[in-house]
A and B are shown apart, each in its own frame.
Chain A
Amino acid sequence: MKIVQCECGHNNPYGTQVCEICGNPFDENEQLLNMRYEGAARRSQTYNTTIVDKIWNFFSSVKVGIWLIVLVLLGSVLGTVLPQQQYILSNAPPETFYEEQYGWFGWLYYTLGFHELFKSWWFLLLLALLGLSLIVASLDRIIPLYRSLKKQRVTRNTSFLKRQRLFSASEVEHPEESIQSVKKQLEQKRYKVKEENGNVLAEKNRFSRWGPYVNHTGLVIVLFAAMLRFIPGMYVNETVSIREGEYMAIPGTNYEYYLENEEFSIEYYDPTDEKYEAALERINGLQAKTYQTDANLYRNIGSTIPGAQPELEFVKSGKIIVNEPFTFDSISLYQTGYGTEFYKMMFQLANKETGEQFGTVEVNLDNPQEVHDLGNGYKVKVLDYFPDFEMKEDGPATKSKFPNNPGIAFSMISPEHPEGEISFVAIRTNVELGDNDYKMEFISMLNRDVTQLTVKKDHTLWLIALGGFIFMIGLTQGMYWNHRRVWLQQVDGEVWIAAHTNRGWDGFQQEITQCIQDTKLSEPVDQDVTVKKSKESE
């Protein structure tokens, strides 16, 4: 390993551009010093022998980091070209949806897996590599930067001063008094001033230099927390649909908690409200104001075996509305949707000829009762029930378990027909076997709402919040404060002013100008401008 020895006697690590102690630059050709990381050697440059070092050095490079940012950016853009699978119409099978909607391009998009781009292994890998780059690049820079800012000496090598961006050399009668006057001014502007042999180093807001590393730490914490979600038990994201009046086990609680949907309700904006009239007319019609589930939470103190009848103990009741989740333990229930189902069908047994009525039959479409005794020898039996009725070759059947199109076969028992007359009733259908004397008259249909809730448990939230907080602290500290340093030094009877900041040169220059206005020292010149001008004229 090579060591760079400075003329002041200090041994610097390999790769150092500016001596850690006195600031002597090792590259004599540059007109201005590259003050990035104080010219200290990045750790990665120091060793480069083993494969581990090579990988490390690769990820230490900001260039690589920027490429990773750009790749994540491009990947994200790619994910917006067509809608992701989670946002396409529900029930649409993705394998055909993309091709039908978007032709060959949709087919290609689906085939390449871009319909679930943000879950793909390569996108996760990119994010992870970005995380690695954050860790490695920060570690490699913060340590040498910390060392050189800690070690910096007040008196600097003249060629260090001369090659700062802001610089001036002035011949004045009383150099020491001038320096003291400027020093006082700087102190008033809250600079921390150090003095050595009549030379001055004034510095403020050094903490701003740690900003990037603080915010990188925050980001790494956020990425790590996002990864923790893959550990079982850390993160639950389920949905549950509950019909009004029913209860269901809350997913993710191992049948310990049950939720009852007491009532689901929708409130609409008043379409005659003057305020909203115009807008509501434009979207022609109703606009929901609130979706609300009135829920009761129960704890199951009985068997927690799936399917077993739970023994429920009331815990609490509350409402679940959009934007206001219902929480208990570490679980949150969100109102995410609703539906409406046929619930009960009401019929009347009637004599076709006389119109005489013998009582009503209420069929619960979720779980119909088999026998309905109407008294006086009148009875209605449900022979068969098809929740989602369709006619097939071998007779009536159901398409699904949902009562979308209920079809019911009745046997109507009357004193005249103790064997029963058969009638099949569905919506807008009434089929009889033979010529019946009685009929099942449809009276009404009762609907009920089904609420859809999202069940969330997230033990990573606090960590994400912490990471986000640290990230914002780091951004603020790095971006809203600027590290400023002024060196005042006597060199061969002249007073040299050199100054450095990481941002906001214009304001800095003005600040220094204000501090020297009581003296005859000349204003420091922005050498970046002069250097550029001379380069242009070449």
Chain B
Amino acid sequence: MSQSNNVKQKRLILRTVILAVFIIVLGYTIYSNVFKNPAPVQVGDIAPDFELQTTNGETVKLSDYRGKGVFLNFWSTYCEGCEIEMPYMDSQYQFFKDKGVEVLAVDVGEPALTVKKFAEKYNLTFPVLLDEKQEVTKRYGVLPIPATFIIDKDGVVLDYIEGSLPEQSIRVLMSKIVP
């Protein structure tokens, strides 16, 4: 009888192992398929580096801004929310730029001329970047615009906001990343 108990014990262990493996695999699958947030850049991540040209033809690299806070905004000229917040961003930029906060406004793939004329129209003083092939927009997983990433001096994403921001919020966000 003791031998049969042994067999029984072994079988119970085998069954438990198979069921446990099954539950783990199933749990992972369902979690990653249904509940996982697909955003490639999340709050707390290190902001992925990129390199883009400004409307003035200068090359800007995100990692060059280590030590500074970066207000990274994705926008376009045809997006009304962007049009509203641009002047706010600029006026706050005037205040924060000496305190170590940089604004990078990435246009999501419009012709350079269109963007340049828009920037001139609104007298934007911060660098406006051209993401011609939308590589950066895709890397950051930006779908609706405007979208803003708040990046601190160590390159960590502190916050991510979709939608147009009022001037008050822009000030609060910028003050968070003063180094």
The B interface, classified by DSSP as helix, strand, loop or mixed, is helix
Residues A55 and B19 in contact, CB atoms below 8 Å apart: yes
Q: Within the assembled complex, what's the spacing in Å between the Cα atoms of A132 and B21?
A: 11
Confirm or deny: A313 has a beta carbon within 8 angstroms of a beta carbon on chain B: no
Q: Within the assembled complex, what's the spacing in Å between the Cα atoms of A306 and B60?
A: 12
Residues B33 and A367 in contact, CB atoms below 8 Å apart: no
Confirm or deny: A63 has a beta carbon within 8 angstroms of a beta carbon on chain B: no
Confirm or deny: A119 has a beta carbon within 8 angstroms of a beta carbon on chain B: yes
Interface residue stretch chosen among A333-341, A383-391, A439-447, A506-514: A383-391
Mark out the residues of chain A between 1 and 23 whose CB falls within 8 Å of any chain B CB in the assembled complex: 1
- Give every chain A residue within 8 A of B131 (Cβ-Cβ): 307
Taking a contact as CB atoms closer than 8 A, the residue among B12, B48, B108, B110 that contacts A387 in the complex is B110
Taking a contact as CB atoms closer than 8 A, the residue among B16, B19, B49 that contacts A305 in the complex is B49
Chain A 319-355, CB-CB to B under 8 Å as 1, else 0, gives: 0000000000000000000000000000000000000
Mark out the residues of chain B between 24 and 55 whose CB falls within 8 Å of any chain A CB in the assembled complex: 25-26, 28-30, 32-34, 48-52
Q: How many residues of A contact B (CB 8 A)?
A: 48
Q: Within the assembled complex, what's the spacing in Å between the Cα atoms of A382 and B111?
A: 13
- Give every chain B residue within 8 A of A120 (Cβ-Cβ): 34
User: Distance (Å) between the CB of B6 and the closest chain A CB?
Assistant: 12
Chain B 103-136, CB-CB to A under 8 Å as 1, else 0, gives: 0000011111110010000000000010111011
Q: Within the assembled complex, what's the spacing in Å between the Cα atoms of A518 and B29?
A: 64
Q: Within the assembled complex, what's the spacing in Å between the Cα atoms of A46 and B33?
A: 38
**How many A-B residue contacts, CB cutoff 8 Å?**
111
Confirm or deny: A308 has a beta carbon within 8 angstroms of a beta carbon on chain B: yes
Residues A382 and B29 in contact, CB atoms below 8 Å apart: no
Chain A 157-169, CB-CB to B under 8 Å as 1, else 0, gives: 0000000000000
Residues A53 and B78 in contact, CB atoms below 8 Å apart: no
Q: Within the assembled complex, what's the spacing in Å between the Cα atoms of A131 and B52?
A: 49
Confirm or deny: B66 has a beta carbon within 8 angstroms of a beta carbon on chain A: no
Q: Which of A308, A365, A387 has the most CB of B within 10 A?
A: A308
30 contacts between A and B (CB under 8 A): A47-B8, A50-B12, A53-B15, A56-B15, A119-B34, A121-B30, A125-B30, A230-B29, A249-B133, A249-B135, A251-B138, A305-B51, A306-B49, A306-B50, A306-B136, A306-B139, A307-B51, A307-B52, A307-B129, A366-B111, A367-B112, A367-B132, A368-B113, A385-B111, A387-B111, A387-B114, A397-B77, A397-B78, A401-B76, A401-B110
Residues of chain A whose beta carbon lies under 8 Å from any beta carbon of chain B? 1, 43, 47, 50, 52-53, 55-56, 119-121, 124-125, 128, 131-132, 135-136, 224, 227, 230, 248-249, 251, 255, 303, 305-309, 365-368, 370, 382-388, 397-401
